[in-house]
Structure formats: C-alpha cells, structure tokens
Amino acid sequence: MNTEIPATYYRTQYREFIPGHPVLRILASFPIACFAGALATDTAYAATTNVIWADFSDWLLAAGIVMGVLAAIVGLAALIASRRAPVQPRAWPTVIGSVLVLVLAAFNNLVHSRDAWTSVVPQGLLLSVITVIVMLVTAWLGSASVYRGEMPYAGPRP
Amino acid sequence: MRTVIMKNRLLAGAAILALTAAAPDNFDTNTQIGPNPVLPPLQQYLFPPMHLAPVVGWKSSETPNAAPGLKIQAYATGLQHPRSVYTLPNGDVLVVESKSPNLDPVTRPKTIVMKWIESKVTSDGAGAGSNRITLLRDSHGTGKPDTQTVFIDHLNSPFGVALVGNDLYVADTDAILHFPYTEGQTSITAQPTILTPLPGGPIDHHWTKSLVANPDGSKLYVGVGSNSNIAENGMIAEVGRAAIWEVDRASGAHRIFASGLRNPNGLAVEPQTHALWTVVNERDELGPDLVPDYMTSVKDGGFYGWPYSYFGQHIDPRVKPQRPDLVAAAIVPDYALRSHVAPLGLVFDTGNLLPSQYSGGAFVGEHGSWDRPTLNGYKVVFVPFSNGKPNGKAQDAITGFLDDKGNAHGRPVAVTLDKAGALLIADDVGNTVWRVTPDNQSQANK
C-alpha cells in the first residue's frame, strides 16, 4: 500500500498477531509440550505395556487439544482485532502447521480412546510421531522466517 | 519444506482412511446363534458404533409380548431397579433391587464419556434407595402377590441369592453374606456374617455377582466379572476376576473353578446332567457382530479365552503381552447367543406349568445392546435342550421390551421360576417383575 510507512510499523503490528501475543504464546506452548509428552508416554507404553502410560497419553492429547483450541480462539481474536495490519505471507506455514497439528492430535485422541494395546500401537504411536514431526517442521519454518528478517521476533515499539 | 508437510498430510490422511474404513452392516445375525457362530473379521474404530435405547418405562396397561401359548402379566411394579429374582421353598419370591456401586475411577477422558452414555440408558435406581431385597408373597395362589415387605435392607449392590437349608446367602458385590433364615420369615434384621469376600473395589466394573449352590449344597458357585472391557485397566486389576469361583460352604475357602469368562452371570445347574451353566457377556468394540455373547457349560479348571482370545483361538490384538499357552487351551463355548445381547439371566424349565415344549430347556434374559448400530437382545429367549445339551435355535419367548421407535419400556435381567413353575423376569429399568404362565385361552383352542 503505502511504502512510506516505517518498517517498525509492521513489526509492532505483527508482534500483536502470531508469535508475540503473550497469552497466545502461553497457550500455544501447552499443545507443544503435551503432544511431545504424548509421544514419550506412547513410547513408554509400547515398551512396557503398563497401561498407566497409555492413560497419560490420553490425558496429554486431550489437554493439548483443549489448550490448542483456546490458543486458536485467542489467535483468531487477535487476528480480527489487528485486521488492518497486513498479514505477513510467511505467517501461513505457522497457521497451517498449527491447524494440522490439532487435527492430527484430535484423530490421535480418538485412536487412544480404544482399549489397551491397539489404542497406542501402531496407529496411535504413528500419529504421535507424525504430530511431533509436523510441530518441528512448523517451528523450523517459523524461526527460519525470523532469521531471514521476514517475521519479526521482537523489537521496540516506536 | 512445504512438500514435507504435504507428504505428512498424505501419510496422515492414509492413516485416517485406514482407521475409519468400515464394512456395511448387512451381516445375518442369525448365523451367530448356536454352537458354531460365524465370526466376521474384527474391526477397530475411532468411534465405535453405538445405538442406545432411551428408557421410557411402562404405562399401567402396557406389558411385553409373550410367544404364542404363553401369557405375561406384571407380578409386582414400582420396584427400585430389580435385577434378580429368587424363589424360596415356601413360594415367597425375593426380588433383589440393586444398583451399580459406581466405583469405576476416571482413568482417562473416555471414562467420563462412557459414564455419561451409561446414564442415558439405565435408570440405575436413580433417586430411589435400591440395594435391598423385597419379599413378595402370593398367599392365595392368585398369581398376584398380596404381601410385599422389605426382606433385607442396606445391601451393597447385591445380585445373587442362594438358600441351602436354613442358610441364606446373598452375593453383595464385595462379599458373600450369610443370613440365618426360617421358613415363612418376611424380613431379616439379623446382622450377616461374611462367608467369603469377593473382588469389589477399588475398581468394580462388572459388579453383579451371580450365585448358585451345587445339588448337594456343599459348594457355592459365584460369578465374578472382569474389571474392564479388555484388560485396559491392566491385568493387576483382574486378579480373581473374569472367573467362576467355587466356595466351600462350610469353611468359606474358595478356588477358581473356571476362568477366562469375561462377565459370567445366570449361574444355573442343568437339571439332567447337573452340570454348571452360565451366560457370558463377551467383549466390546471389535464390531457390531463381534464377539457373540454365549451360554456354556462350565468345566472344572476350564479357561474360556478372556482377555487373550475369543471363541477358542481367535486372538484379540488389544491384549499385550499375549499368553499363547492359555490361548492354546481356551475352550470354545457351547452355544452363541448373538453379539452384544447382554445375557444376564438363565434358568432351566424344571417346572410342570409351562407348555411341554419348554420342558428342560433354558430361558435367557437378554438385557440388550449398546455397542452396535441396530439394537440386539432386549428380550427373553428360549433355548431347547435335550440330553443336557442345547438342541436347536434360540426362539423368542418374551419380546416387546422395545417399542417401534427404539425406546426401551424395560430391560430384562435375571429370570427364575416360581413355585408353581411360572417364569419370573426381573425388569430393572421397567421397575417390574413379570410373570409368564401358559395362555390357557390359546391352549383351549388347540
């Protein structure tokens, strides 16, 4: 639009949106920890057949989904509130990746609602692995944007 | 990097497709009645197929439907979740009113959902006291009791009753209680003694403890159901469970008489061979037509598969570690009753009242399904017997517990004969005991 707007304008507006909003940042860290934790507890169940690990996975997935949905709601609200700010094209991998992670985890939670061994092995464990890979790729794409200077990470308000 | 995401999405998509693919339900369930049921390939689900029958109860004029030659009438109404019936030698009828101890801990989100679903299809004595035994006496032989008293109160989820001489045994969910009984008594206030503790809490998933004495009265047999669908609470929770115990009446000592029986109920002695028979609720969530519930004679020391396998050597993939040694020895049950019909009652017709075609055969109370798209059970069926073995297809004896909209007026549980030889049916959500007699009208027409 107007090329004369100072670069810091984009920075601050963008900070309000995806990675910067403090509440969103807190909420978004739960699914990451929970789904990574579910991979760990799934692995523990597969190795030991002790059902307490499968139960842990079930709770971790459910908690991650609840917090992830809350994060999505806050993110959407922030997006609407700052809709006058142009959306950075490089934000889309983060958005798409996050949605994909939530969808995968939701399916995974249904698989985990089965009883005993096949609630985890093989499909639950596979979905947990895929979920973590998608989280890693999404995070890598996001931080790569920051390094390239396309996605401001932090900066002083003007 | 985008291609990596796409690949992952494709992988996930393929996995999801594999998870949700399900065959249509055009299976002939009649192939699952009898000694050699057809067993379709097992399926596993994201959402297991479910169909619940909302409970609407009976209006005063409504009754279930009896097969031709039989007539059904309410024997007692307004009860508090009657699960079991037992006839004393003087003809008094004991109605065991019982509700779930509700001890299943919330181990994972699914437990919350399942408890909610269960609350939709069972009244479970809601609000009412229940957990007591009511005595009904028909002193004039009119087929309708004229006396109703609270026989024993403040029990702990009772189910089975057995009388040997003057010793009355009540199987609470956590113990076999002994009460002194004198013929003609209409209530017992004496404190019970515990003959044998039974597996109750801290988890108590299948809580109904069925009870029967052997013919000479020296032993009691008690059914102890599993603590889970398929060992998802761990095998440590299954110690002494999914089994029939033999209890020495003199000492209270017990041993496992038979095992691998997921939820054995309706223990009964077959009149010709004196063999112990039971009806068993098999496992859920392997498909609408797996695994058939069954009735079987129970062999001393026999293992019947649960949780490792079903109907002999059909492995259940949900159980790890497996036990090939036990699976190899697993006995194929005698007679399949169709899948998910939930048989909870069994009685052999040893009376002289019902039409001769029923003589010596077995009535089975089928509480009804939840784990399949179309309802199954919700009726009392009759299995003809000869020479101590089932001989022919199960026939509908009492139906009409469901209306044509799929609502449940009632659900049959335990069955027994009264002193005259009429069939009594405990209907828990219908809060009624039904009495089935010959239809003299139609017999006169013969």
Residues 6 or more apart whose CB falls under 8 angstroms from that of B379 comprise B64, B366, B396, B397, B398, B399, B400, B401, B412
Interchain proximity B110–A127, CB inside 8 Å:
no
- Assess if residue B30 is contained within a domain: no
pLDDT above 90 (res B3):
no
CB of A26 within 8 Å of a chain B CB? The answer is no
Residue that wins the pLDDT comparison between B18 and B171: B171
For residues B371 and B50, is the Cβ–Cβ distance under 8 A? yes
CB of A10 within 8 Å of a chain B CB? The answer is no
Chain B residue at shortest CA distance from A63: B109
CB of A44 within 8 Å of a chain B CB? The answer is no
Instruction: Report helix, strand and coil shares of chain A as percent, to nearest 5.
Output: 75, 0, 25
- pLDDT of A16: 40
Chain B residues close to A49, C-beta within 8 Å: 320-321
Min Cα–Cα distance to chain A from B238, Å:
13
Q: Which pair of structure tokens corresponds to residue B433?
A: 């005991």
pLDDT above 70 (res A18):
no
Domain extent at residue A50: 7-147
> Domain holding B82: CATH number?
2.120.10.30
> Element (H or E) spanning A128, and its range?
helix A123-147
pLDDT above 60 (res A11):
no
CB of B215 within 8 Å of a chain A CB? The answer is no
- Assess if residue B214 is contained within a domain: yes
What rounded mean pLDDT belongs to chain A?
82
φ, ψ of residue B3 in degrees (nearest 5): -65, -35
- pLDDT of B117: 83
- Assess if residue A157 is contained within a domain: no
Interchain proximity B12–A130, CB inside 8 Å:
yes
* Three-class SS state of B387: coil
Q: Which pair of structure tokens corresponds to residue B391?
A: 């001989």
For residues B289-311, give the mean pLDDT. Answer: 98
Q: CB count, 10 Å around CB of B102?
A: 11
Residue that wins the pLDDT comparison between A43 and A94: A43
> Element (H or E) spanning B133, and its range?
strand B132-137
Min Cα–Cα distance to chain B from A6, Å:
31
Say how far apart CA A56 and CA B385 lie, in whole Å.
Answer: 49
Domain extent at residue B234: 56-445
ipTM for the whole complex: 0.88
Residue that wins the pLDDT comparison between B300 and A89: B300
* CA separation, residue B91 to residues B185, B186, B270, B390 (Å): 12, 12, 21, 29
Say how far apart CA B129 and CA B127 lie, in whole Å.
Answer: 7
Min Cα–Cα distance to chain A from B200, Å:
21
Interchain proximity B228–A115, CB inside 8 Å:
yes
> Element (H or E) spanning A40, and its range?
helix A22-48
At residue B70 the predicted structure's pLDDT band, cuts being 50, 70 and 90, is very high
Say how far apart CA B134 and CA A97 lie, in whole Å.
Answer: 63
Chain B residues close to A134, C-beta within 8 Å: 5, 8
Say how far apart CA B432 and CA B216 lie, in whole Å.
Answer: 33
Residue that wins the pLDDT comparison between B120 and B432: B432
- Assess if residue B438 is contained within a domain: yes
Say how far apart CA B134 and CA B152 lie, in whole Å.
Answer: 7
At residue B41 the predicted structure's pLDDT band, cuts being 50, 70 and 90, is very high
Interchain proximity A114–B228, CB inside 8 Å:
no
- CB-nearest to B108 from A59, A96, A137 is A59
Chain B residue at shortest CA distance from A127: B12
pLDDT above 50 (res B42):
yes
- Assess if residue A131 is contained within a domain: yes
At residue B19 the predicted structure's pLDDT band, cuts being 50, 70 and 90, is very low
Q: Which pair of structure tokens corresponds to residue A59?
A: 């709770």
For residues A70-92, give the mean pLDDT. Answer: 75
- CB-nearest to B233 from A49, A51, A118 is A51
User: For chain A, how many structural domains are there in total?
Assistant: 1
Instruction: Report helix, strand and coil shares of chain B as percent, to nearest 5.
Output: 10, 35, 55
- Assess if residue B186 is contained within a domain: yes
Interchain proximity B320–A107, CB inside 8 Å:
no
User: For chain B, how many structural domains are there in total?
Assistant: 1
Interchain proximity B109–A59, CB inside 8 Å:
yes
- Assess if residue B75 is contained within a domain: yes
Query: Could you tell me the maximum CA-CA distance found in chain A, to the nearest angstrom?
Result: 63
- Assess if residue A37 is contained within a domain: yes
pLDDT above 60 (res B21):
no
pLDDT digits (tens, 9 = 90+) for B349-401: 999 999 999 999 999 999 999 999 999 999 999 999 999 999 999 999 999 99
Chain B contact probe: residue of A109, A114, A119, A140 with most B CBs at under 10 A = A114
Chain B residue at shortest CA distance from A123: B15
Across A84-93, B85-94, B147-156, least confident range: A84-93
- pLDDT of B25: 59
DSSP state, residue B304: -
Interchain proximity A117–B8, CB inside 8 Å:
no
For residues A54-76, give the mean pLDDT. Answer: 95
Q: Which pair of structure tokens corresponds to residue B212?
A: 């029967």
- pLDDT of B201: 87
Interchain proximity B320–A116, CB inside 8 Å:
yes
Which amino acid appears at position B428 of this protein? D
pLDDT digits (tens, 9 = 90+) for B257-269: 999 999 999 999 9
Most trustworthy range by pLDDT among B5-14, B52-61, B96-105, B238-247 = B238-247
- pLDDT of A85: 61
At residue A92 the predicted structure's pLDDT band, cuts being 50, 70 and 90, is confident
- Assess if residue A158 is contained within a domain: no
Sheet holding B175-180, edge to edge: B160-164, B167-171, B175-180, B193-197
For chain B, what percent of residues have pLDDT higher than 70?
A: 92
Interchain proximity B1–A141, CB inside 8 Å:
yes
pLDDT digits (tens, 9 = 90+) for B192-249: 999 999 999 899 999 999 999 999 999 999 999 999 999 999 999 999 999 999 999 9
pTM: 0.90
Say how far apart CA B206 and CA B244 lie, in whole Å.
Answer: 13
Chain A residues close to B1, C-beta within 8 Å: 93, 137, 140-141
pLDDT digits (tens, 9 = 90+) for A113-157: 999 999 999 999 999 999 999 999 999 987 765 555 444 444 444
Min Cα–Cα distance to chain A from B11, Å:
9
pLDDT digits (tens, 9 = 90+) for B106-135: 999 999 988 888 887 776 545 567 999 999
CB of B11 within 8 Å of a chain A CB? The answer is yes
- CB-nearest to A114 from B15, B228, B285 is B285
- pLDDT of B122: 72
Interchain proximity A62–B47, CB inside 8 Å:
no
Interchain proximity A113–B232, CB inside 8 Å:
no
- Assess if residue B28 is contained within a domain: no
CB of A96 within 8 Å of a chain B CB? The answer is yes
Q: Which residue has the tokens 């192939």?
A: B31
Chain A residues close to B320, C-beta within 8 Å: 49, 116-117, 121
Q: Which pair of structure tokens corresponds to residue A148?
A: 């390239």
- pLDDT of B128: 66
Residue that wins the pLDDT comparison between B311 and A8: B311
